[in-house]
Amino acid sequence: MGKKTKVAVAIAAASAAAWASSKALTKPKPRDKKDALNYDTPIVMAHRGGSKIAPESSLSAFQQAAELGVHGFEIDIRLTKDEEIIVFHDEYIDRTTDGSGKVANYTLEELQQFDLGYHFSNENGQYTYRGKGEKIITLKQLLEEFPLQLINIDMKDSPEAYEGSLIPSKLWRLIEETSSHNRVVVSSFYDEQIDRFNLYAQNSIALGAGENEVRKAFSAYTSQFGHLYSPRADVIQIPVKHGVFQLDRPGFIHFLDKLQVPVHYWTIDEPEAMKQLIASGAKGIITDRPDVAMELLKDIEPTS
């Protein structure tokens, strides 16, 4: 046996010993279950209220989804110029209203002058909501209008922006004001924003996973050191696929389930995809078609 071969064998042996030692000494610690996520069967979350049944983030969309019986809403929030939290996805208002410009440059009163239904058309191409009074709504309004729904709140403003620096503390104060602690999940693509929010919440609120946390979870699952992974999120919301990585593997869902971290998938509108994900163990379907999802859920027997 040559010198290089001996070195390689020694390294491999040391690695195996380190793995065995860490496996013996380390036990995965599941997350404490939050009240907001205390459900046994798969749930349906209407994406922005259900943006294929009514204008996204509009009161009409949320009302229709609630009437269908959805368990909750998946929403995005941003901060206005006068520091009001609104339910809105884009940084600029052009795509979904008849106005233009950056959200953060307008006050709430100014934003509510725009027609939120301006770009929405039904399956026949008719602008059924244009000029019907659809306005941007605040998060406080949503929380008060729908006290029975779970609301997944995604902070969209960048932590580097002025509005992004304020929104974690503003959101915490609003949750306290409305006593919504047990029916919200707070998340962001920016892990830093979640950490900032949790400085106030101190793990009293269910937390979603940022991009880095999802990456860590998937890396832990695909490595031999998954037993060393300690989740920092109470729920993970992900697409079926990200780049070349397939995130809907039953093994990945089960890996997280053992840590008491349910997985919700977005944005799922096709019935067959919903069936397959639920059969694989997904605990939540985030959809633009809550009408389709709720009808489908009646006939599905989930597997754990």
For residue range 69-80, what is the model confidence (pLDDT) as tens digits?
999 999 999 999
DSSP state at residue 31: P
Taking Cα atoms as reference points, which of 83, 53, 75, 76 lies closest to residue 65? 53
Contacts of 124 (CB under 8 A, 6+ apart): none
* Secondary-structure percent of the chain, ordered helix, strand, coil, rounded to 5: 40, 15, 45
Residue 120 located in a structural domain: no
Residue 117 located in a structural domain: no
Please give the pLDDT value at position 23: 46
Q: Is the pLDDT of residue 115 over 90?
A: yes
- Per the listing, tokens 């046996």 go with 1
- Per the listing, tokens 């009161």 go with 59
Residue 80 located in a structural domain: yes
- pLDDT tens digits, 194-209: 999 999 999 999 999 9
> What span, in angstroms and rounded, lies between the C-alpha atoms of 23 and 15?
12
- pLDDT tens digits, 25-67: 456 678 898 999 999 899 999 999 999 999 999 999 999 999 9
CATH number where 183 lies: 3.20.20.190
Task: Give Cα separations from 273 to 117, 162, 266, 301 (angstroms).
Answer: 29, 39, 11, 15
Domain range for 211 is: 31-90+139-297
Structure tokens at 84: 């009001």
Q: Is the pLDDT of residue 14 over 80?
A: no
Residue 56 located in a structural domain: yes
Residue 1 located in a structural domain: no
State percent of the chain over pLDDT 90: 82
Q: Is the pLDDT of residue 15 over 60?
A: no
- pLDDT tens digits, 241-259: 988 889 999 999 999 999 9
pTM: 0.89
Task: Give Cα separations from 46 to 6, 16, 52, 123, 235 (angstroms).
Answer: 59, 46, 10, 19, 16
Q: Is 16 exposed, middle or buried (0-12, 13-18, 19+ CB in 10 A)?
A: exposed
Average pLDDT score, the chain? 91
Residue 105 located in a structural domain: no
Residue 99 located in a structural domain: no
Q: Are residues 74 and 46 in contact, defined by beta-carbon separation less than 8 angstroms?
A: yes
Per-position DSSP letters for 55-112, written without gaps between them: STT-HHHHHHHHHHT-SEEEEEEEE-TT--EEE---SBSTTTSS--SBGGGS-HHHHT
- pLDDT tens digits, 206-224: 999 999 999 999 999 999 7
Residue 20 located in a structural domain: no
For residue 226, give the 3-state DSSP assignment: helix
Count of domains forming the chain: 1
